[in-house]
Amino acid sequence: MKKVLILGGDGFCGWPSALHLSKNGYDVAIVDNLVRRKTDIELECGSLTPIQSMSRRLSKWQELTGQKIAFHYFDVAENYHRLLTLIAEYKPDSIVHFAEQRAAPYSMKSSWHKRYTVSNNLNATNNLLAAVVESGVNSHIVHLGTTGVYGYGTVQQVIPEGYLSVYTKGQNGDLEEHEILYPAAPGSIYHMTKTQDALCFYYYNKNDKIRITDLHQGVVWGTETEETRMDEALINRFDYDGDYGTVLNRFLMQAAIGHPLTVYGTGGQTRAFIHIQNTVQCVKLAIESPPKHGDKVQIFNQVTETHKVRELAQLVANKSGAEIRFFDNPRTEDAENELIVRNDKFLSLGLNPIHLKDGLLAEVTNIAKKYQHRCDTKSIICTSVWDAKKAVDYTGKKTAEGLQQTYQDSPTGDFTEMA
């Protein structure tokens, strides 16, 4: 039985991926420090869906399928020796790395959040790579990266899968072709950590011949997969708040509870999207298509379609009658951009793309309706802004002081409000 270690296996993408792999004959073990659940306490807003404790999740899974998933509770960014020992003893064929702080707005909340995001994400990635080298175990690392590493300016070309051919003039005037990592253009501290992960991968792959696949994933929408639907105790998390909620799930949830749809700026931002069911399928496909020893880092674009934000809002409004409301954009990003992303590699591996469909949109809306009593409407408006000027301008209603929280340098992240 092939073994897979899932770092961050309690999260939105990690939990359904763990179940999907377990269902498909893999021996699965999860590592998670449950920091995402602790962040719920910090932000005073939890998952809209009633996610169960890890032990309840795992015992229900075993009861339904007979499959046992091991759980290791520790911090990948801090507890290097726990990680090293686990890899050396478990000897996973693949390690899927989801264990990072993944919300762009959360990473911009304060200097504490910036520093936490950088420290957590870069140390988690470097610890993993160093532990694989030190253990001598030949694990294939599959990392969840982001389409955001490419930046969201409009370029006159289709975004390739990770690498770009460039030409320089040699001393004799001849053109020389080079393949480089596509230039990094992060739009938030969170996205910046993903561009830096890419350099870690480049280095450890070049120096230590570690086999790595980096998945440049778009915005994930939906909540349920075939496996999480099997029982309510297996339900996946659903983030709807201004920091962790992603745009389409937020719109569907807002429509379900009669809240205006929160379009930032003109809504002309084009982003890439993928349904969570396709996410778990892509993770399995990536595990099953490892690069060969000595191959460079393999990069797949994990996206199935692109949309402008205002088109998504219109689509949701047409179905639900919801009001569309335009907000000053709390982020620093192009008001309008075009985006065409290649995804040939996953298509050639057999991915059957799920496109925005009535049924799936309705499913998310139904989940949102079912659990709307758990929604705290105060958490819907985003209060994280990209710079101090936006803090002043944002919505024109709040002062910089009112929007900012200053985190103290304590490991618990205690904060005091600057009232």
- The per-residue DSSP string of 273-329 comes to EEEHHHHHHHHHHHHTSPPPTTPPPEEEEE-SEEEEHHHHHHHHHHHH-PPEEEE--
Closest CA relative to residue 363, chosen from 249, 233, 258: 249
Set 117, 146, 270, 304: catalytic member: 146
Helix (H) or strand (E) holding 242: none
Set 116, 150, 190, 407: catalytic member: 190
Q: Which stretch binds ligand USQ (CB under 6 A): 99-107, 108-116, 289-297, 408-416?
A: 99-107
Q: Which stretch binds ligand NAD (CB under 6 A): 3-11, 180-188, 201-209, 351-359?
A: 3-11
Residue 39 structure tokens:
């962040």
CB of 121 to ligand USQ, least distance (A): 11
| Complex with ligand USQ: residue 195 or 246, whichever CB lies closer | 246
Phi-psi region of 398 (alpha: psi -120 to 50; beta: other; left: phi over 0): beta
Catalytic: 152? no
Choice from 5, 10, 20, 308 touching ligand NAD (CB under 6 A): 10
The set of residues, in sequence order, having a beta carbon less than 8 Å from that of 127 and lying 6+ positions away, is: 76, 77, 80, 83
Subset of residues 113 to 172 that bind ligand USQ, contact rule: CB under 6 A: 146-148
Choice from 5, 18, 76, 235 touching ligand NAD (CB under 6 A): 76
- b/e string for 284-294 if b means 16 or more Cβ within 10 A? bbbbebbeeee
Catalytic: 213? no
Report yes or no: 220 and 12 within 8 Å, Cβ to Cβ: yes
Catalytic: 206? no
| Complex with ligand NAD: residue 223 or 391, whichever CB lies closer | 223
| Complex with ligand NAD: residue 34 or 137, whichever CB lies closer | 34
Contact string 198-227 vs ligand NAD (x = CB under 6 A): -------------------x-xx-------
Q: Is 188 helix (H, G, I), strand (E, B) or coil?
A: coil
Residue 313 structure tokens:
């809002």
Choice from 21, 77, 263, 276 touching ligand USQ (CB under 6 A): 263
Q: Which stretch binds ligand USQ (CB under 6 A): 54-62, 102-110, 287-295, 388-396?
A: 102-110
Choice from 6, 51, 76, 104 touching ligand USQ (CB under 6 A): 104
Asked whether position 16 contacts ligand USQ by CB under 6 A, the answer is no
Binding-site partner at residue 34 among ligand NAD, ligand USQ, none, CB < 5 to 8 Å by type:
ligand NAD
Closest CA relative to residue 104, chosen from 167, 158, 152, 37: 152
Q: What's the CA angle centered on 345, arms 344 and 348, to 5 degrees?
A: 80
| Complex with ligand USQ: residue 272 or 285, whichever CB lies closer | 272
* DSSP β-bridge partners for residue 28: 4
**Could you tell me the maximum CA-CA distance found in the chain, to the nearest angstrom?**
71
Which residues form the catalytic set? 146, 190, 194
Residues that bind ligand USQ (CB under 6 A): 102-104, 146-148, 218-219, 246-247, 250, 262-264, 269, 271-272, 309, 329, 331, 333
